[in-house]
Amino acid sequence: MRVALFITCLADGQFPEVGKATVRLLERLGQNVEFPADQTCCGQMHVNTGYSKLALPLVERYVDVFADYDAIVAPSGSCVGSVRHQHAMITRRYGTPGLVERVDTVAAKTYELSEFLVDVLGVTDVGAYFPHTVTYHPTCHSLRLLRVGDKPIRLLRSVAGLTLVELPDADQCCGFGGTFAIKNSDTSTAMLADKMRNVLTTGAEMCTAGDASCLMHIGGGLSRLRTGTTTVHLAEILAATREQPAALGREHDRAEVSSRAGRVH
């Protein structure tokens, strides 16, 4: 099986640890992961902001880059949701009939990480070790676009040393929503406040999820409030072992610097 990693913009440029963890995890499970360097973005930002037409070349690129692989894996429910649901929509409107067919084929073999592990590789115990108390936030697009269901929970329950605590109102959106967080920042922040309150009531050390974007939002809020509670991507937990623990704490450290910069404006 030829497996390609679709890294996603955010993991590539902002959270490379998520990508490295995904590679480490998949290799540990015996997969030979390839990273096609010509990949860029799935186009979701353009589509969701009202610029679907500009996303067409990005969709074409995605199809060209990944067509030859048996499986494409991304550490993001949202970007995979875009590939599986929006690519067809964009192509049907702006593309050619030939492209529509290719888009459907490539979309059908694009998987979010937990889907790939559970559905394709058939594993729930990935041999991870993570001695922390963690709560899980199911991101909206994993939950409702991809219907990953309890796959991430099953993976987390099998991690040695990990204590999983239930997040109240887990299915409520954290308020990120891409440009929504900017255009409607007050409403977004109100949603974030409730999500953070729920995370904090669990007493967990960390909040995990399958999307770096939602974690950037939740983690950014938790860091601003100096709660001491942090965020960690599902891939980083699943990649961690006794021999090679996750590189934690660096993100919080980085955030402090930018928060000072942010206040200058």
Considering only residues 222 through 261, tell me which ones interact with another protein, judged by CB under 8 A. 223-224, 251, 254-259, 261
Compose the 182-211 pattern: x for residues touching another protein by CB under 8 A, - for all others: xxxxxxxxxxx-------------------
Tell me if 96 contacts another protein by CB under 8 A.
Answer: no
- Listed in sequence order, the residues at least 6 apart from 215 whose beta carbon sits closer than 8 Å to its beta carbon are 207, 208, 209, 231, 232, 233
Within 48-87, the residues that bind another protein by CB under 8 A are 48-55, 57-58, 61, 86
Q: Are 31 and 70 in contact (CB under 8 A)?
A: no
Residue 102 or residue 141: which is nearer to another protein going by CB?
Answer: 141
- Alpha-carbon separation of residue 155 from 122, 191, 202 (angstroms): 11, 27, 20
Q: Of 146, 258, 138, give the one whose Cα is nearest residue 210.
A: 138
Question: Measured at the alpha carbon of residue 66, what is the angle toward residues 70 and 22, in degrees to the nearest 5?
Answer: 75
At closest approach, how far in Å is the CB of 101 from another protein? Answer: 21
CB under 8 A: which stretch of 66-74, 106-114, 203-211, 216-224 binds another protein? 216-224
CB under 8 A: which stretch of 7-15, 120-128, 159-167, 201-209 binds another protein? 7-15
Residue 122 or residue 264: which is nearer to another protein going by CB?
Answer: 264
Q: Are 111 and 1 in contact (CB under 8 A)?
A: no
Residue 23 or residue 159: which is nearer to another protein going by CB?
Answer: 23
Question: Measured at the alpha carbon of residue 180, what is the angle toward residues 14 and 106, in degrees to the nearest 5?
Answer: 60
Q: How many residues bind another protein (CB under 8 A)?
A: 80
Residue 210 or residue 220: which is nearer to another protein going by CB?
Answer: 220
Tell me if 138 contacts another protein by CB under 8 A.
Answer: no
Tell me if 179 contacts another protein by CB under 8 A.
Answer: yes
Cα separation, 216 vs 232, whole angstroms: 10
